[in-house]
Amino acid sequence: MVPSVAALVRAKEPVVRHRDLDRRTKRFLIQAGVTLMVAILLFGYLLPLLFMTVTSLKSEDQLANGRILPMSAVTSTVDGKDYPLFAVPLEGGTRELALVKPGRKQSTFVDPTAPAEQIVWDGNWRTLAPTVELDLKVSNYGDAWDTLDFGRMMRNTAFIAGVGMAGTIIASTLVAYGLSRFRVPFKKLILGSLLATIILPRFVTLVPTYWIYNKFGWIGTFFPLTVPHFFGSAYNIFLLRQFFLTIPKELDEAAAIDGAGPMKTLLTVILPQAKGAIVAVALFHFFFAWNDFLEPLVYLQGKAELLPISVGLYQFLGIYDTNIPLVQAGALIAMIVPLAIFLLLQRVFLRGIDLSGSLK
């Protein structure tokens, strides 16, 4: 008897379902493995920051005891004096008792709830586990803020970063627009020179630029840290130029037909589509200026009232090098502003790095 078509289809259904189940299981295992790997890498990347945060909440004594978390020994007041608590194993079970008289072979304890009764325990008290509790030293942040005068240094850093950011956006945008939209003589030579300045270390030009700024009388002022950025940045010019090249030139021609000149085309056609790239350039420079250490150290040496956070933290480390929790608290305070800005603008920032030419 020949089986019907329906019977053959019903016979193949379990096999097809089994294959689909295997594919879904395999896809799930691959996704789970990738997610686990990313989570492990992310944890490893954030582990130093986590360790830094935990350390900033410790005291010097807590740092010396070797515990991971900021834990402090619990004490109990007996007859007007504070005594440490220990977990003491007794016949009736382990009890938390206050050590009033330590000894190598015998130690005397009292129960904080019944201080009149003394308990003699045979053994070395150092073998007992002390009673500890979580004790966060949040005051480290206030001490670091007051000691380092963070308010003044944040204003200085914000001024240097803000003015330089405005200058590099204006200059880099204009240069990138010219190199991407107009016939410029020796364009390839100009682009090659820009790329060469990216490769050239700034340590090579430090001495001649210092000599020039000294002739101008700019040493000890904010001018060497802000004015040069109004002449553009090679990296930012190249980034914006590549972005502008992805924008169709037909839009410029349509704007020209409507009577728009080059500057109006830039302001009304190019820049609205390049918001992501502009934000990326702004954040790149802001983070660079916020963390820059070498140039403020060289040009503002001897001007304590003008120092930014990077140099201030270095001097703070030199004074309080033994107080590691206080130094870590100061470093975390310095990270708050750039970290908050990046988290708020990360979507636009990542779109700007992707030179897609669209902002959907």
Position 111 in a domain: yes
CATH number of domain containing 162: 1.10.3720.10
Q: 79 and 43, same structural domain?
A: no
Instruction: Tell me, yes or no, whether 37 lies in a domain.
Output: yes
Based on the fold, state whether residues 272 and 222 are members of the same structural domain.
yes
Both 190 and 257 in one domain: the answer is yes
User: Domain check: are 179 and 289 in the same one?
Assistant: yes
Within a domain: residue 116? Answer: yes
- Judge whether 175 and 325 are in contact, CB under 8 Å: no
- Answer yes or no: do 316 and 175 share one domain: yes
- The answer to whether residue 7 is domain-embedded is no
Do 157 and 300 fall within a single domain?
Answer: yes
Same domain, 303 and 212: yes
User: Of 134, 151, 180, which marks where a domain is finished?
Assistant: 134
Task: Note whether 37 and 107 are same-domain residues.
Answer: no
Same-domain pairing of 201 and 346: yes
Domain hosting residue 148, numbered range:
140-353
Query: Does 346 have pLDDT greater than 80?
Result: no
Count the domains in the chain.
3
Last residue within a domain, chosen from 84, 100, 134:
134
Same-domain status, 228 and 283: yes
Average pLDDT, rounded, for the chain: 84
Percent of the residues in the chain that have a pLDDT greater than 70, as a whole number: 91
Per-residue pLDDT at 155:
92
What is the residue whose two structure tokens read 């850093």?
157
- Residue 248 and residue 148 share a domain: yes
| Whether pLDDT at 323 is above 60 | yes
pLDDT at residue number 356 = 42
Work out the pLDDT band at 149, boundaries 50, 70, 90.
Answer: confident
Which CATH number do you get for residue 93? 2.30.30
- Residue 315 within any structural domain of the chain: yes
Is position 359 within any domain?
no
**Model confidence band, residue 28 (pLDDT cutoffs 50, 70, 90):** confident
Same domain, 128 and 262: no
